[in-house]
Structure 1
């Protein structure tokens, strides 16, 4: 390697009291090497109730059951200078079903992963099989600690053989010696001293040893059985000290009070090693056969102890060739006979100890560290790095989806649009909203490019217009919510509701393929709402109004056309005063644009180019409205602020290669932390529209590329890498939450998807042609191409 290798470990870590925490620490120290030729850092897992003073190598923490932390950790890893990740895996370390929260992290990173598997199940339940298969998929290399684990990975889980590496559990390197020195050091008695150590839980099987002791002690009354270790924290949390009390009662029942000692404490590594070195015999009475590795057994072997163990998988392999004695699970007589054999045959016992010690030399941490480094380098050489953004999302289509209106039509009845669904089935209890109807008019009118299309959508547009006409109040505002009994539930909707209605009505007025009657009605409703429109205070309501008025003002409305309709419908309108008054609407249009400029000037800072102190919802619509205001007025201030705020939204939401839109769990305030969830698809839809407007404004190709990326949010270019859009029905899921995809498919997401699709389809060639191809045809220089890459903050091909 020409540079220092940088490794990021993921696992529990000291000072947490658990075996994997100790293992991770030992492995890190062994990998870093005597000359510090490998730089190591740690992402530590903890429980919410735990607070640790971690050493400086811990650079990030994950709360076990907090899914958001796994996503944030993935972001941290991608932005770090780590070359690779070394994951310590045991199902119980991670939250979720069978520890599946870890895949939120693994699926989102662009570094090779080397996984050390501390647990494996030969006959797994479905969720554990799935979790293991996912782990194999995301790992460049799988490190196991026994040949039995290798065979199980291949036979049970069909793991590719070239992914599997066997590296033994590490042990400290101590000389082969007798026990008396360490007994004196620790003031321990026992001739012999029999030891079992590790965090206490019911699977330890210690009662089997206790029941074997009376006959052994009757012959060797100086024998002491030391049970060393605190109760496992998770066991203590859920069951308390039930097992320890059971063992203590068993000792009293068997009259072993003078021969059995419990040391209820977690000992650090150096002290633990002294206890092991002080013992004569190590006993490993585990009750579960499916134990693929045991650090305690490994330490006992590496320090040359005489060992008696049950035949779990790891013990069978490690103690073969007469390196220890095996006793069947729960076999009291077997433990008794094995202990007596070792005590009464010192030469055979010492020979067994020497074989275990000699085998342990290949397991010293120094050798283990070298082997891991070899695997790291091998993984880096073989790793298929992601040279471009497209490779991480290679499931995305190379063209836009066809327009599919099935789901919108399913939600539309003879009244309006049902707001929400239960798993795609319209949920009538939620009723209707003006918000959805106004934006649906935008989506449909954008699709009308011929009289045939106008006729195709005539029924739906007529229904929507009928809803808005009924929803408009005497003052010109609009009710928003109507229940399924056709009763409005509010005196009037929010200002945003008024803005969204104007947004839709403006598009109807501007659609020349629609009938004169429909367009005249739209104009009438707009005119009636003019006074309410003038008094808007909400920035988003103003933005919606600007977008709707822009359509009306740039259409070149024929007032004679409307007048002829009005004259024939005196029963419908009271006077000719409701005709389009371009000057008054233009005044409102400019006034609202100016107020957004004032809002920006009052709130933006050097590192905060936004209209408000908080980024909330429907954000890109604010930027888009100023870009449209520039189109109409040619006021450069509008364009300057529109682009600056849109670029700011890109900066805070484009997460390397996908859009991480601001979630509504608290929004994103200046100097605050951006929430990841709940993300709403409306934000991606509005971003797409705004980027298309920016591209049409300044013809900078980066905006059409960004429009493509934001639109692909619906198709899977998102944090969960999951498609929200259903190609078969045209439905769109409601959002991304910390629990995954919200699979309800309401009106808002499908309407915003259609608006985004409509705006982008006019620029299909620009969006789906690569920047490199465009450079050739347009003569863009290498320097300019590199600048575009930087602006996108991603590597594009």
Structure 2
């Protein structure tokens, strides 16, 4: 055994994904052997194994397996990504084979890779000359994501550059690993299997039609004629997926073929998935090893590698891996499906001990270059290089000045109709038109931004107010939401959330609009439409309506409908909390979604306005809970990732993070600060605001600069470079809120000044 050493580059922790024993397949054996080689060569290296699970609950995985991933459960891939991200692993090594990952051509794997930030190293076990459209799409994405791509044959490198256009610099050829065992003469091992007087020819691996066993059985009459004591041993269980489809019908057909050719006594089928050491014993007992495989494109064969590693005399068809590993007289190649050629070469080598022994010595020497410790060393060197190539991140300081609010980017996204929803980079994308959600937010911004020319304020307030006015559908008694660029509506009724947000904007306009004409308009439309609030069922829609009602009560304390909205919905949110609460889950719903902090904010405003300490207490307690869930281990704000949405009672996933969450948290924390004078809430608001400035998981600012733009989200590998309306408005409204917070006088209590 090779001596243990420290992993290169100070690497101390990686994650490894693939099949794993006791799952019965070649890839499971490879991944398990890889794990063992890493642990033996680098004892201090922590290796977290994530096992792909085709039959959840069936495989009894060993303690080495950190977590199993149900193959066809897409959400499980995101959960695995979260575990990897939180584990502290510095790199992810993926064993890739078609058929072991869920989705079209295994594209569920991409969902996992899109959610991890560490370098990805991929070993490809199959490389196709002519991939299908889905196979190409998945492979192209996998190759783009990978920092290093390991192939086990030089032909694989050539295919990847020619077919997929991969940069050759990221490709590395590392041969399939083999075990380290001393060479022995086959005769010394045959007795334990009862083969002492037999000329043993061996094939091993999971039994399947592409293994070419029929070719060998057809060759046996000629072999037996020259060597009557020849014995062809077919070692291996039938592939589990084949058994599922047809039971042991294929094995039975092979036995019938042997009987038809009169060689049934010269063929032994060992129907077992043998353990590692027993497998090596079988190999060492063989005089010849044959791989009559029928697929010319087979890029790797673990069984062939093991045979060479044991010093076996190999006769094989010329598939890719065999052509390379047996080159330079390390074995014998014969044409595909040519049973006559197999028979001739077997007879020649069984009849010439000198030639057989010389070939065995050359094969064994070649195998010494492929030992598992060497694979571990070379692979870890590539992992270390990939990690070292990462750009050095400079953590953002907390001492960052807030941005001055501006409507430059808002104007860029607006026209005479309203504010467009989406952009491509910073350019408005007219294909998706407008929505009431963004125009309601834009209307609120017009009241909250201070340094704005009054003519400009009047212009855009009127535009966004007109959008809300036109969105009201009196026949359906609902606000519409989505409008095409040609001003045609996409629907008669918008979502509950969009209706709640429209009422919120009307309430804020009634309270905060700088011009009396706009306040009067908002009061009139609120009175005409707010009755729909009592028909809303969505907790968020109700929270939005509550915020609008609280604003209206600031203007008209006796407004009966606004008071009814706050009282009824406040009580119903308390009931929801009681229904869903668990010791570890202090939230109104069993899932997290978007705009989460609006729920506690609504409760705080309801408690403040109605002078209800019970509602206020619920708001503060739930805000405390969600703020804790939105804090990274480093103490930074971490928005609930979109991959987290709708996962019952589950901790949030870190990506994708959206600007809306930071703004909602800022507003809720400022509300808490106003009612409690607890400076802790001002600190939390600033923490959420600094997320825009780059104090986040990736140390990347989302605010685009002096133009007032904001990128659409924080993804595992960087920024979503688009700058849509929701993101721009979230940043500008957040900047307005922080500006107001900074102007509040310091709190003085019990003789103590709190800055």
> How far 1:261 moved relative to its partner?
2.2
Mapped to 2, the partners of 1:206 and 1:407 lie a distance apart of 72
1:705 matched residue in structure 2: 690
SS in 2 for 1:9: strand
Give 1:493-504 correspondences, 5 Å limit: 500=501, 502-504=503-505
> How far 1:182 moved relative to its partner?
2.5
Unpaired stretches in structure 1, ≥5 consecutive residues: 391-397, 413-422, 473-477, 558-579, 731-749, 768-797
Out of 48-57 and 499-508, give the one that drifted further: 499-508
Out of 257-266 and 617-626, give the one that drifted further: 617-626
In structure 2, the CA distance between the partners of 1:387 and 1:330, relative to structure 1 (3 Å rule), is: farther
Mapped to 1, the partners of 2:471 and 2:374 lie a distance apart of 76
Q: Does 1:470 align with 2:444?
A: no
> How far 1:59 moved relative to its partner?
0.7
Out of 203-212 and 498-507, give the one that drifted further: 498-507
Mapped to 2, the partners of 1:370 and 1:663 lie a distance apart of 36
Mapped to 2, the partners of 1:447 and 1:341 lie a distance apart of 91
Give 1:652-691 correspondences, 5 Å limit: 652-653=629-630, 659-661=639-641, 668=648, 672-674=649-651, 685=660, 688-691=663-666
Residues 709-740 of structure 1: CA deviation (Å, up to 9, x unaligned) = 8996994535687988965xx5xxxxxxxxxx
Residues 753-787 of structure 1: CA deviation (Å, up to 9, x unaligned) = 575355135379999xxxxxxxxxxxxxxxxxxxx
Match of 1:75 among 51, 64, 82: 82
2:730 matched residue in structure 1: 756
Match of 1:624 among 583, 594, 601: 601
Mapped to 2, the partners of 1:375 and 1:685 lie a distance apart of 39
2:183 matched residue in structure 1: 176
1:444 matched residue in structure 2: 443
1:416 matched residue in structure 2: none
1:233 matched residue in structure 2: 240
Match of 2:142 among 112, 135, 146: 135
Residues 216-238 of structure 1: CA deviation (Å, up to 9, x unaligned) = 22222221211122222233434
SS in 1 for 2:306: helix
Mapped to 2, the partners of 1:126 and 1:463 lie a distance apart of 44
Contact 1:443 1:758 (8 Å CA) reproduced: no
Give 1:304-703 correspondences, 5 Å limit: 304-384=311-391, 386=393, 388=395, 402-403=409-410, 409=417, 440-447=439-446, 450-451=454-455, 454-455=458-459, 458=462, 461-462=465-466, 464-465=468-469, 468=472, 470=474, 500=501, 502-510=503-511, 512=513, 516=517, 519-520=519-520, 522-524=522-524, 526-527=526-527, 540=540, 543-554=543-554, 582=558, 607-610=584-587, 619-626=596-603, 628=605, 642=619, 645-653=622-630, 659-661=639-641, 668=648, 672-674=649-651, 685=660, 688-692=663-667, 694=669, 699-700=682-683, 701-703=686-688
Q: TM-score normalized by structure 2?
A: 0.75
2:3 matched residue in structure 1: none
Contact 1:499 1:544 (8 Å CA) reproduced: yes
Mapped to 2, the partners of 1:521 and 1:716 lie a distance apart of 32
Mapped to 2, the partners of 1:282 and 1:245 lie a distance apart of 23
1:567 matched residue in structure 2: none
Q: Does 1:717 align with 2:713?
A: yes
SS in 2 for 1:762: helix
Match of 1:26 among 24, 30, 33: 33
> How far 1:61 moved relative to its partner?
0.9
In structure 2, the CA distance between the partners of 1:328 and 1:386, relative to structure 1 (3 Å rule), is: farther
Contact 1:411 1:426 (8 Å CA) reproduced: no
Mapped to 2, the partners of 1:152 and 1:399 lie a distance apart of 52
Unpaired stretches in structure 2, ≥5 consecutive residues: 1-5, 398-404, 421-428, 674-680, 704-709, 742-755
Alignment length, in residue pairs? 683
Mapped to 2, the partners of 1:324 and 1:535 lie a distance apart of 79
Contact 1:643 1:694 (8 Å CA) reproduced: no
SS in 2 for 1:114: strand
In structure 2, the CA distance between the partners of 1:608 and 1:69, relative to structure 1 (3 Å rule), is: closer
SS in 1 for 2:233: strand
In structure 2, the CA distance between the partners of 1:523 and 1:321, relative to structure 1 (3 Å rule), is: closer
Mapped to 1, the partners of 2:11 and 2:253 lie a distance apart of 52
Q: Does 1:289 align with 2:296?
A: yes
SS in 1 for 2:299: coil
In structure 2, the CA distance between the partners of 1:242 and 1:608, relative to structure 1 (3 Å rule), is: closer
Q: Does 1:94 align with 2:90?
A: no
In structure 2, the CA distance between the partners of 1:333 and 1:137, relative to structure 1 (3 Å rule), is: same
Out of 51-60 and 180-189, give the one that drifted further: 180-189
> How far 1:327 moved relative to its partner?
0.4
1:63 matched residue in structure 2: 70
Give 1:95-114 correspondences, 5 Å limit: 95-114=102-121
Residues 188-239 of structure 1: CA deviation (Å, up to 9, x unaligned) = 4773111111112222122222222222222222212111222222334346
SS in 1 for 2:713: coil
Cα RMSD (Å): 4.9
